[in-house]
């Protein structure tokens, strides 16, 4: 008598499994072909060379818009940069430098050595704090020295607007403008690149040099080699517009925003 076997699965189930297997194999092949067409691009460059900015521009060209969370993040960065760089400009350029000495945890008038070393060179950059209007606006800026702008709801609207007025007023002063332009060099692009490379080289040599001793005037050293973003002027001259609660950066502001990128970010 003959024998026969019956499979554990029915014929319709076997057909379904084969079709599913074919779909999976086809998907894998399509995915492999897609990976072969993809090109990986590694951008190498120094800080502020424009790597992240390039990808932002590519996103806009491709029709993508910045999400609200991205705009809020850039708004915080813009405000932080404006405040911090204004404080640094005042740090090395006011006559009574002890006003901001607590920001660097140094003794009174430590940074005044910048002027004592070469008063003629830095005379055009000196802000006269004997002027009451100037002092009032400096006090407003200093009152925000510990603000990180991470939670806008905690910042008083009127107080925020006063900060915008103060920064924009200080930016109208010739010594402040002269200081920033002296540090960044807006005139010639090639000269600006050369100056940046020279400053980086000098700064690195200072860091490894035994001349910088523990307890030396590090605040003045940091100021002399402080990097100011090339687009800082763009934001300082519109401080009143930025320091209001309903401000939201547009595409131009986002592209001009400078922030250090650490690691790998998906853009």
Annotate 157-166 with b (16+ C-beta within 10 A) or e (fewer): eeebebbbeb
Residues 165, 240 contacting (CB under 8 angstroms): yes
Q: Which residue has the tokens 């699965």?
A: 9
| Nearest partner of 60 among 264, 265, 252, 266, judged by Cα | 252
CA-angle at 263, arms to 34 and 249, nearest 5°: 90
Residues 221, 192 contacting (CB under 8 angstroms): no
DSSP 125: G
User: How many other C-beta atoms are found inside a 10 Å radius of the C-beta of residue 79?
Assistant: 25
Q: Is 52 annotated as a binding residue?
A: yes
- Both tokens of 59, joined, read 């996103």
Distance CA 91, CA 184 (A): 17
Residues 231, 180 contacting (CB under 8 angstroms): no
Residue ranges of the binding site for Mg(2+):
52
Residue ranges of the binding site:
52
């Amino acid at each position: 008598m003959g024998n026969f076997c019956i499979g554990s699965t029915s014929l319709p189930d076997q057909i379904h499994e084969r079709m599913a297997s074919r779909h999976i194999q086809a998907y894998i092949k399509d995915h492999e072909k897609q990976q072969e067409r993809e090109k990986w691009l590694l951008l190498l460059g120094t800080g502020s060379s424009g790597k992240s900015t390039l990808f932002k521009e590519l996103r806009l060209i491709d029709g993508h818009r910045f999400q609200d969370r991205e705009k809020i993040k850039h708004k915080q960065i813009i405000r932080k940069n404006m405040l911090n760089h204004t404080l640094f400009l005042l740090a090395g350029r006011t006559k009574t430098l002890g006003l901001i000495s607590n920001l660097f945890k140094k003794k009174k008038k430590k940074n005044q050595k910048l002027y004592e070393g070469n008063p003629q060179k830095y005379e055009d950059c000196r802000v006269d704090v004997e002027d009451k209007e100037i002092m009032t606006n400096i006090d407003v800026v200093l009152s925000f020295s510990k603000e990180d702008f991470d939670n806008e709801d905690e910042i008083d609207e009127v107080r925020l607007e006063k900060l915008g007025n103060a920064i924009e007023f200080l930016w109208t002063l010739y010594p402040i403008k002269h200081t920033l332009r002296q540090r960044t060099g807006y005139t010639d692009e090639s000269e600006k690149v050369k100056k940046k490379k020279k400053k980086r080289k000098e700064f690195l040599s200072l860091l490894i040099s035994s001349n910088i001793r523990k307890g030396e005037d590090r605040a003045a050293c940091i100021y002399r080699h402080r990097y100011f973003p090339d687009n800082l002027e763009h934001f300082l001259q519109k401080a009143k517009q930025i320091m209001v609660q309903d401000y939201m950066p547009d595409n131009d502001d986002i592209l001009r925003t400078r922030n250090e990128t650490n690691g790998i970010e998906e853009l």
